[in-house]
Amino acid sequence: MAVIALKAPDIEVTVVDMNAARIAEWNSDQLPVYEPGLDEVVRATRGRNLRFTTDVEGGIREADIIFVAVNTPTKTYGIGAGRAADLRYIEAVARTISRVAVGPKIIVEKSTIPVKTSETIKDIFAANGVGGNFQVLSNPEFLAEGTAVADLFSPDRVLIGGERTPEGEKAVETLASVYARWVPRDRIITTNLWSAELSKLVANAFLAQRISSINSISALCEATGADVDEVSRAIGRDSRVGPKFLKASVGFGGSCFQKDILNLVYLCEKFGLGDVAAYWESVVKMNDWQKRRFAAQIIGSLYNTAADKRVAILGFAFKKDTNDTRESAAISICRDLLAEQAHVVVYDPRVPASLIHSDVLGAGKRDARLTVAQTPYEAAEGAHVVAIVTEWDEFRSLDYARIFALMAKPALFFDGRNIVDLAALRRIGFRVHGIGKPNDA
C-alpha cells in the first residue's frame, strides 16, 4: 500500500488494522517490518496520501477499493487441521464490509486464499442484501520478503482475476489502471477469478518444489563427492530449467511456502485427487527432512554427544534482509540441538532476543541453555560448532581467523547456506561442512 501511495500521489491510501500496537508502530519511526527501502517509501508518503489507523469501519466506508490482506494461516483445529487455510479472518472482513459499506465498492483479495474463496465472500454479500453493489477481484501478491520494495517497483507480473461480466471487466480495468501508473501494461495479466486464486498457490508450490528438488540432490552430492553448486550451475544453464532458485540450503522457511502447499494439498484431497495431493505434500516432507538432517549432522560431528557443548547459530530470520522468523529453519534446528542438551547461542542482526526465545521455546518460556549473543564473535566464544543458518551478507566477511581462535577444538564450521569459502576456512584450521559439498565434518 505504501508503494501504491508513492506511485499514485492522487490516490488516498488508508491502511487499517485492528491491532492497535501494530498501527502505532507503523505511525512511529520504528516500523514493525524490516525491508530494505521501506522506511524511505513510508517516510515519503505517510501524512501525504498514506494513513495508518485502527478505524477499520471508517476506512471501509470511505474507500472505493478495499484490499483485504488479513492473515490466512493453516487451520489448527477441526476438519482440515494442519492443511486447510483458516478463513475466519477473511470471512470476518466480508461480514464487516457488508455491514458498514455503502455504495459501489471493489473488494480485492490480496491475501493468499484457496481457489473459490471469492465465492464465499460473494455469498456473504448476497445473503446480506449488498451483493449488487460489490465486485470481487483476486489480485494475489507475488513479492518476496527481503526484496519486497524492489519487487513492487518492478514486478515480473501483476495478476488480476475478475468476473467475465461487463461489471467485472470494468472493475478489473479500474484496478489495472492503478498499477499501470508504474507497471508496463504487458506485465498486467488478467484472468478469471479462479485462475488468479489458484495461480498464487501454484506459483509458491513450484518455487518451493525447486528448493526441495535441489536439497534432495544435495544429500546425494554429499554421499558421492559431487558439489551441489556445480550441479546447479550445470543444470541452470539449460534455458528450460533456468538458474534461479537452485541454491541448496538448510531448507525453506517463511510464512507462505509451507502454508500454501498444504493448502494446495488440502484442495487436491477435497476434490478426490489423492495422488496429486501426495505429490505436492512430498515437497514439504523433503523440506522437513532437510532441516532435521542439518541438525543431525551437527550432532553427528560432535561424536553424537552434544550435551553441554556450545553451538553458535548465526542467523535466525528465515532469510536475509528480513526480521521475519515465521517457519524459519533455525527454529527446528535450535529445538533439535536443545533436545540433545546442547547449549545454543544465537546471533541475528535483526531479530530481537525475545522473539528468538518465544519461537524456540514458546511464549514467555526461558531455558538457560538457549542464549542470544550481541555479536557473532560473542556467539562463537567457546563454541564447538559455528553454523550459518541465515545467509546475511555480513557472514560472508567475518574475521574467521578470530572466530577460530575463540572456539573449542576441533572447531567445526557448518555453512547451511553455502555462502563462505570453505577452502579458506579449512586453511585456517576449521573442519568444514557445506550443504551438498565434499565435507570433513
Residues forming the active site: 256
Applying the rule CB under 6 A, the residues between 121 and 180 that interact with ligand NAD are 141, 143, 145
Q: For the residues of 16-79, what is the DSSP string, one character each? A: E-S-HHHHHHHTSSS-SS--TTHHHHHHHHBTTTEEEES-HHHHHHH-SEEEE----PBP-SST
In the complex with ligand NAD, which residue's Cβ is closer, 38 or 428? 38
Type of residue found at 420: V
16-24: long-range contacts (C-beta < 8 A, 24 or more apart)? Answer: 16/52, 16/53, 16/54, 16/55, 16/56, 16/58, 16/59, 16/60, 17/52, 17/54, 17/56, 18/54, 18/56, 19/54, 20/54, 23/52, 23/53, 23/54
Residue 71 sits in the site that holds ligand NAD (CB under 6 A): yes
Rounded distance, CA 152 to CA 106, Å? Answer: 21
Name the segment binding ligand NAD (CB under 6 A); options: 63-71, 150-158, 261-269, 426-434.
63-71
Report how far residue 441's alpha carbon sits from residue 431's, in angstroms, rounded to the nearest whole number: 6
The span of 65-73, 156-164, 173-181, 391-399 binding ligand NAD (CB under 6 A) equals 65-73
Which one of the spans 66-74, 166-174, 228-236, 296-304 is the region binding ligand NAD (CB under 6 A)? 66-74
19 binds ligand NAD (CB under 6 A): yes
**Binding span for ligand NAD by CB under 6 A among 74-82, 88-96, 97-105, 412-420:** 88-96
**Residue 256 within binding range of ligand NAD, rule CB under 6 A:** yes
Kindly identify the residues of this chain, within the stretch 261-300, that bind ligand NAD according to CB under 6 A: none
Reduced to 3 states (helix: H, G, I; strand: E, B; else coil), residue 304 is: coil
Per CB under 6 A, which of residues 181..210 are in contact with ligand NAD? none
State in angstroms the smallest separation of the CB of 393 from ligand NAD: 20
Number of residues that bind ligand NAD (CB under 6 A): 20
* Choice between 38 and 56, CB closer to ligand NAD: 56
| Residue from 93, 149, 221, 264 in contact with ligand NAD (CB under 6 A) | 93
Contact status: 18 vs ligand NAD (CB under 6 A)? yes
Binding mask 215-254 for ligand NAD (x = CB under 6 A): ----------------------------------------
For the bound state, the minimum distance from the C-beta of residue 274 to ligand NAD, rounded and expressed in Å, comes to: 25
251: how many CB neighbours lie within 10 A of its CB?
29
Which of residues 11, 12, 61, 89 is near ligand NAD by CB under 6 A?
Answer: 89
Among 14, 98, 112, 135, binds ligand NAD (CB under 6 A): 112
Q: Which three cell numbers stand for residue 212?
A: 526441495
Question: In whole angstroms, how close is the CB of 16 to ligand NAD at the nearest point?
Answer: 6
Residue among 167, 152, 285, 268 nearest 215 (CA): 285
When binding is defined by CB under 6 A, the residue of 38, 69, 150, 180 that contacts ligand NAD is 69
Torsion sign (Cα): 303, 306, 312, 318: positive
Q: Does 111 bind ligand NAD (CB under 6 A)?
A: yes
Residue 70 CB, nearest distance to ligand NAD (Å)?
4
Per CB under 6 A, which region of 37-45, 85-93, 289-297, 301-309 contacts ligand NAD? 85-93
Among 11, 12, 17, 361, binds ligand NAD (CB under 6 A): 17
Q: What angle do CA 114, 124, 260 make, to 5 degrees?
A: 10
Among 31, 38, 70, 276, binds ligand NAD (CB under 6 A): 70
Secondary structure (H, E, C), 157-198:
CEEEEECCCHHHHHHHHHHHHHHCCCCCHHHEEEEEHHHHHH
Please report whether residue 100 would count as binding ligand NAD according to CB under 6 A. Answer: no
Give the bridge partners for 136, in sequence order.
107
SS3 label, residue 228: helix
Length of the chain: 441
- Angle 394-396-398 (CA atoms, 0-180°, nearest 5)? 70
For ligand NAD, which stretch binds (CB under 6 A), given 18-26, 118-126, 236-244, 360-368? 18-26
Binding site for ligand NAD (CB under 6 A): 16-19, 22, 56, 69-72, 89, 92-93, 111-112, 141, 143, 145, 255-256
